[in-house]
Chains A and B, each alone.
Chain A
Amino acid sequence: MIAVFVILYLVSMIAHLYNLLAEGKLPAWVGIGPLVAGFVLQTVMFGYSGLTGQSRGLGVWLSAAAWILALLYLVAYARYREMALGGFALPAIFVLAGYSAALPGAWGSGSQAMQGFLLKSHAFLALLSAASFFLLFAAALMYVAQAHQLKSRRPGAWLRRLPSLDVLDDLNHKILYFGFAFLTASLLLGSMWAQSEHGAFWSLDPLKTLPLILTWLGYGLLLVCRLTRSWKGMRSAFFSMGAFVAVLFALAVHL
Chain B
Amino acid sequence: MPIILAGVSHHRTPLEVRERLFFAPDAMPEWLDRLGRYNGLEERLILSTCNRVEVYSSAESFEAGVDAIRSFLSEAREVAAETLRRHLYVLRDEEAMRHLFLVASSLDSMVVGEPQILGQVKEAYRLAQENGHAGKNLASLFARAFQVAKKVRERTAIGEAPVSVSSAAVDLAKKIFGGMEGRTVLLLGAGEMAELAARHLAAQGASAILVANRTLARAQELAQALGGRAVDYQNITAELAAADIVIASTGAPHIVLDRGRVASALELRRDRPMFLIDIAVPRDVDPGVNELENVYLYDIDDLQSVVSANLKGREKEAEQGRLIVEEELRSFLRRRKAEELSRTFAAIRVQAEAFRERELTKTLNRLPGLDEKERQALEAMTRAIVNKLLHHPFAHLREMAAEQADEKTIEFVQRLFGLEPGAIELPPPGPDDEA
Contact = CB atoms under 8 A, between A and B. Distances in A.
Interface string A213-243: 0000000000000000111111110000000
A166 interface: yes
B366 interface: no
A146 B175 contact: yes
A164 interface: yes
A164 B181 CA distance: 14
Contact of A164 (B160, B161, B174, B305): B174
Given A150-B175, A150-B176, A165-B273, A233 B294 contact: yes
A165 B174 CA distance: 9
Given A154-B302, A154-B309, A165 B271 contact: no
Given A154-B302, A154-B309, A155-B306, A233 B175 contact: no
Contacts of A155: 172, 175, 306, 309
Interface string B256-280: 0000000000000011110000000
Contacts of A156: 309
B177 interface: yes
A79 interface: no
Given A153-B298, A154-B305, A234-B293, A165 B177 contact: yes
A155 B309 CA distance: 9
B113 to A, nearest CB: 14
A151 B290 contact: yes
A65 interface: no
Nearest to B303: A153
Contact of A167 (B157, B178, B306): B178
B296 interface: yes
A159 interface: yes
Given A153-B298, A154-B309, A229 B270 contact: yes
Contacts of A163: 178
A230 to B, nearest CB: 4
A165 B274 CA distance: 11
Which of under 10, 10 to 19, 20 to 34, or 35 or more describes the interface residues of B? 20 to 34
A235 B273 CA distance: 11
Contacts of B178: 163-167, 170
Indicate the member of B161, B271, B296, B309 with the most A CB atoms within 10 Å: B271
A160 B302 contact: no
Interface in B213-254: none
Contacts of B270: 229-232
B175 A230 contact: no
Contact of A159 (B157, B175, B290): B175
**Interface of chain A: mostly helix, strand, loop or mixed:** helix
Nearest to A153: B302
Contacts of B306: 154-155
A151 B296 contact: yes
Contacts of B157: 160
Contacts of B175: 146, 150, 155, 159, 164-165
B272 A160 contact: no
Interface in B304-322: 305-306, 309, 313
Contacts of B294: 232-234
B271 A153 contact: no
B273 A233 contact: yes
Contacts of A160: 157, 160-161
A225 to B, nearest CB: 10
B172 A166 contact: no
Contacts of A159: 175
A151 to B, nearest CB: 6
B160 A166 contact: no
Given A150-B296, A160-B160, A164-B178, A231 B271 contact: yes
A139 to B, nearest CB: 14
A234 B309 CA distance: 27
Contacts of B305: 153-154
Contacts of B293: 233-235
A150 B172 contact: yes
Interface-centre pick from B172, B179, B297 (highest chain A CB count, 10 A): B172
Given A150-B172, A160-B157, A229-B270, 10 more contacts: A150-B175, A150-B176, A154-B305, A155-B172, A155-B309, A156-B309, A160-B160, A164-B178, A165-B177, A236-B271
27 contacts: A146-B175, A150-B172, A153-B298, A153-B305, A154-B302, A154-B309, A155-B306, A156-B309, A159-B175, A160-B160, A163-B178, A164-B174, A164-B176, A164-B177, A165-B175, A165-B176, A165-B177, A166-B176, A166-B177, A166-B178, A229-B270, A230-B271, A231-B270, A232-B271, A232-B272, A233-B271, A235-B271
Interface of A: 146, 150-151, 153-157, 159-160, 163-167, 170, 229-236
Interface of B: 157, 160-161, 172, 174-179, 270-273, 290, 293-294, 296-298, 302, 305-306, 309, 313
